[in-house]
Each structure stands twice: as structure tokens, then as C-alpha cells.
Amino acid sequence: MTGPELRALMEAMLPADVLAGVAAGAGLQRRDRKRDAVRLLRTILIAAASPAGGRQADMHRQYIEAAGAPVTRGSFYDWFGGPLEATLTELSARARARVQAAPADLPAPMADVHDWWIVDSTLVMLPRPLRREFPGAGAYAAVKVHKTLSVGRGAVVDYHFSPARDHDSPHLALDETWRGAGLLIDLGYASVARLAACRDLDIAVIIRLKDSWRPVVERVARADLKQTFVPGTDLDLFLDGVDLGLRNVIDVDAEVGAGVAMRLVGVAVPRKGYRFYLTNVGRRLGPHQIADIYRVRWEIETNNKLDKSGHRLHQIDARRPAAVRALLHASMIASILVGSIVHAHNRATRPAAGPRQRPPLHHGLVARMLALAGPRVADAFERTGADADRAWAHIAAALVHAGQDPNWRSKPSILDQLRGWPAKPGTKPRLSSRAPVLR
């Protein structure tokens, strides 16, 4: 990631003219001499990852430093209303559209679709007085953030909010926009109707087998049978005739529900028996590869953790519903920005052939470094000419230096493993010794 590349990405995500236009259209920029809408929006988004204190108080301090305007805290908090929420909603849509327009980077086993999307939700606890507007499942206030993460682009491409008491499954609607994609979901989204929709929309899907499902086995592709197998038996009866040795895999054609044809694969796990997966992915990929691709679903769990720890999604300290939603949008946009930076760098440094030679960037480390560099980023936006070039080059060098994954050789990601880059023998995981430095 070079200075010009970082500048182009940041200006594309946070362009002054678009920020000003969206803010004016939403009524955020009024005849308030102390309110600089562009600086305010950039401060909110960059400060979303800053750990300096309370969420809004931290944004207030950074805005004063960036704008040089002595705005009182009460006046600053008043800006967190409907117009700011509408502005950040529009900016979020633009950021997600830009992510979807970026080129995908998928390992060969996952490249039969234009992208793989992972769907999951994360719970955000809110101040107790907000229970009426954001009811939780108990005597608390909370909201669910339902996210769709792009594997090929390394960032969230869609999200929305719902009451915390809502079940996840109704919030996943498959339509024509999903055609030709891949879908990784956990058992919270399991339904026969959803599998049928994947079939009808040509969506590649991998999901764990639900315990209550009894698929009917139609044909055996791979299994070690101890006795004659009769097609048309359910899974339990089929397993009575299968040697469940730990070296075995099972790969059969099965029927789930009312005529939904799926492929059922089982992979032995030491001391845990078999793990079964339902998929419609063809047999170009073996059972172990199907299981490995399903492991990629953990990327969204890592993303949820990063959003809470790195982008302060769990530190919503607002007391008004519009302000709460504005801060939720700010965290998600900051997450998308970091994901875009990491994806652009890792894709540019990935070799066309052979194992990786340069360390990839780590989302969490880049988020921390970007939070530390917040004031410098705000200053770089205001510079021009050679001064701007030097400022962006310095920020990019700091992000790359401090954001390198220290365990990329000893613990490669599952995506790098699918690219054929195993852990280097003799290496051990280690903590990063790179202290963020900004001079």
C-alpha cells in the first residue's frame, strides 16, 4: 500500500464533495458557523476506532482538534440526530457499493462463483434507558446487526439492524442479487426452503447438517461399506452399514425435505466422530475441501470481534435512537474502510504463482494503527501538492509496517491455506513487536 494508493482509496471512501452534498441533502449542514459537515463526518468515521475515551466524547475532542472550533460538548451531542443518521446511512450505502465494485480475490477451490458471502449477526448491548426503543430478549436494551461479509473482497457488503429479540433466519432473504454467488451459513439459517431457493437461484451453499434433519440417501459416491447398502434409506440406517473409521470420508447424494437434492459429505474428526455438511457444490471438490471452505465461515466471527474491539461497536453511549443508529453506521463504515485497505494491499502483494513472500496485513492491527493516525489522516485531507504526497506516504508506510500479520508464516489464514500456502515448518506464533510509530 503506497501513499498514492491509500490517498485514492480514502478519498474515494470519504470524498469532500460527496460528503458535503450528502450532508446538505440530509439537512446536516445548516447555517451553523461552527459546524463543518465534512470535518464532522470524517472525524466520526476515523474516530470510530479510537480508544481514547467515551465514544461521543472522543469524537468531540477530535473534532475540536481538527476544526479548531470551540464547540461545547452539549452542542456537539445535539448534532447526533436524524440528519446525521440519514447522512451516515447514505455514506454507508456508497461505501458498500464501492466494496462490491472491487475485484474479488478467491482461492482456486472457491473460484467457481463470483464471490462467497457469509451471513451472521452480532448483538450490541445498549444503555438500559433505551429498552423501549431497542428491546432485548430480557430486561436489557440491545440491537442486532445482521451482516453479509464478502470473502473475495474482505469486507462487509451489506448489513441492517433489527430488535435483539428477532431470530436470525427471517433476516436472510435470497433473491436475484444472490444468483451465481456462494453462501456460507450456520445452523441458525437452516431451512429446507432456503436450500430450495439456493437450487433455484444457482447459489452454491455449504451448511452443517442439522441434527433434526433425516436426509434420504440416494446414491453413494465415497464410503467404506460393511454390508450391502439399499438406496432410499435415511441417514441413520445408512450409517449402520458404514465403517466409521477415522480415516474415512462419506460422500453421498441425498434428498432433504420434499425433493431437495443435495450432496451430503462427512469428514471424520479425531475424538469427535463425523461432521456432516450439506452442499450443492459439485464433486470437483472433495469432502475435505468442502469442510475447509466451511471453515472460512469463521471469518465473519473474526469480523464481529474486530468490530466490537477495534471499531467500538459495543461502546454505543448515546441516549437517543437516532444517535445510536448513527454510531452503529459509523462503526460499520470504519470496518468497511479497514477491510478495503487490507484487501487492496493483500491482493496487490499476492504472488501470481507460488507461496506468499511478503506478509499480509492484519485487520485488527490496521484498525489500531488507523485509529492512532486519525489526526494525521484528517490533516492529510487538507494538504495539497507535495505536502499531501508526503503526508499520505508517511501514513501508508506506518499502516503497512504496524499492520503486518506477525503470524502469517506459522498460522496462515484458512484462505491462504486454500491457496496452497501451508504453515512454514519450525515457526511458532508470536506477538507483534512492531510498536505503532507516527512522527
Is the pTM higher than 0.95? The answer reads no
- Do 349 and 360 form a contact (C-beta atoms < 8 A)? yes
In the prediction, which pLDDT does 67 show? 60
Please give the full DSSP string across 283-312, using - where no structure is assigned. TTS-HHHHHHHHHTTHHHHHHHHHHHHTS-
Count of other CB atoms within 10 angstroms of residue 138? 9
Q: Name the grid cell of 348.
A: 496487490
Residue of 230, 198, 204 lying closest to 217 (CA atoms): 230
- Do 5 and 396 form a contact (C-beta atoms < 8 A)? yes
The structural domains of the chain, with segments of one domain joined by +, span: 3-100+325-418, 209-288
In the prediction, which pLDDT does 310 show? 83
Distance of alpha carbon 290 from alpha carbon 277, whole angstroms: 8
DSSP-derived letter for residue 80 is: S
Helix (H) or strand (E) holding 344: helix 321-349
Distance of alpha carbon 374 from alpha carbon 33, whole angstroms: 24
Strands of the sheet with 260-269, listed across from one edge:
155-163, 141-150, 116-126, 182-184, 204-208, 273-279, 260-269, 249-256, 216-222
Location of C-alpha cell 487492496: 344
Alpha helices (runs of H) in 220-320, residue ranges in sequence order:
235-240, 287-295, 298-309
Residues 306, 309, 312, 315, CA torsion sign:
positive
Q: pLDDT of the chain along its 439 residues, tens only? A: 899 999 998 888 877 777 777 667 656 655 455 567 777 777 777 766 665 545 677 777 776 666 656 777 777 777 777 888 888 898 899 899 999 999 999 999 999 999 999 999 999 999 889 998 999 888 889 999 999 999 999 999 999 999 999 999 999 999 999 999 999 999 999 999 999 999 999 999 999 998 888 888 888 888 888 777 778 888 888 888 887 775 688 999 999 987 899 999 999 888 778 899 999 999 999 999 999 999 999 999 999 999 988 888 888 888 889 989 988 998 999 999 999 999 999 999 988 888 888 899 999 999 888 888 877 887 888 888 999 999 999 999 999 999 999 988 888 889 989 988 877 766 565 555 454 444 4
Point out which residues pair with 242 in neighbouring strands: 225
In the prediction, which pLDDT does 80 show? 76
- Do 156 and 329 form a contact (C-beta atoms < 8 A)? no
In the prediction, which pLDDT does 438 show? 47
| 269 contact partners, CB below 8 Å, separation of at least 6 | 275
Encode pLDDT of 5-14 as tens digits. 999 988 888 7
Encode pLDDT of 78-112 as tens digits. 777 788 888 889 889 989 999 999 999 999 999 99
In the prediction, which pLDDT does 69 show? 63
Three-state DSSP class for residue 329 = helix
- Do 334 and 49 form a contact (C-beta atoms < 8 A)? yes
